[in-house]
């Protein structure tokens, strides 16, 4: 996979979440994704950015335009140095929530994207990458 564009953005305030969402939508449009795919990517970006802020105490969003095997895509990587996730399997289960929500954030994001990777270590933080291919 090659990276055609790489933007690193802070996720420290609620306004940063809005900025990340807008950036993801603009790149999705530029890449020619359908409105449905744009909405999926913006929803995923919103959820991951919100988690980065709410559960990780803030962090970064790396938004990349990527290419592999003559196709292009959008990859989003959210990273924080928060408390981490003790049980990744449980965190990925529909209905599980530590924040009082519906418990569809991480599992829902995984379904919205083509590729999804979650890495976390208690006391060290969390890194979530999600890619949607055109």
Q: Where are the domains of the chain?
A: 2-133
Q: How far apart are CA 61 and CA 83, in angstroms?
A: 18
Q: Check residue 98 and give its pLDDT.
A: 59
Nearest to 128 by CA among 111, 109, 101: 109
Q: Check residue 95 and give its pLDDT.
A: 60
Q: Check residue 22 and give its pLDDT.
A: 98
- From the centroid of its chain, how far is CA 84? 16
Domain 2-133 falls under CATH 3.30.565.10: yes
Is residue 118's pLDDT more than 80? yes
Q: Which pair of tokens denotes residue 111?
A: 């379904």
Indicate the range of 19-23, 55-59, 72-76, 106-110 predicted with least confidence. 106-110
Express each pLDDT in 62-84 by its tens digit: 999 999 999 999 999 999 999 99
């Amino acid at each position: 996979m090659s990276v055609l564009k790489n933007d690193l953005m802070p996720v420290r305030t609620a306004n940063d979440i809005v900025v990340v969402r807008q950036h993801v939508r603009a790149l999705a449009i530029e890449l020619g994704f359908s409105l449905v795919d744009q909405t999926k990517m913006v929803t995923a970006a919103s959820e991951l950015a919100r988690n980065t802020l709410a559960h990780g105490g803030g962090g970064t969003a790396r938004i990349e335009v990527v290419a592999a095997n003559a196709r292009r895509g959008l990859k989003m990587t959210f990273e924080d140095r928060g408390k981490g996730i003790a049980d990744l399997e449980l965190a990925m289960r529909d209905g599980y929530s530590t924040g009082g929500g519906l418990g569809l954030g991480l599992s829902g994001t995984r379904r919205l994207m083509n590729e999804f990777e979650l890495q976390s270590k208690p006391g060290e933080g969390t890194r979530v990458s999600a890619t949607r291919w055109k």
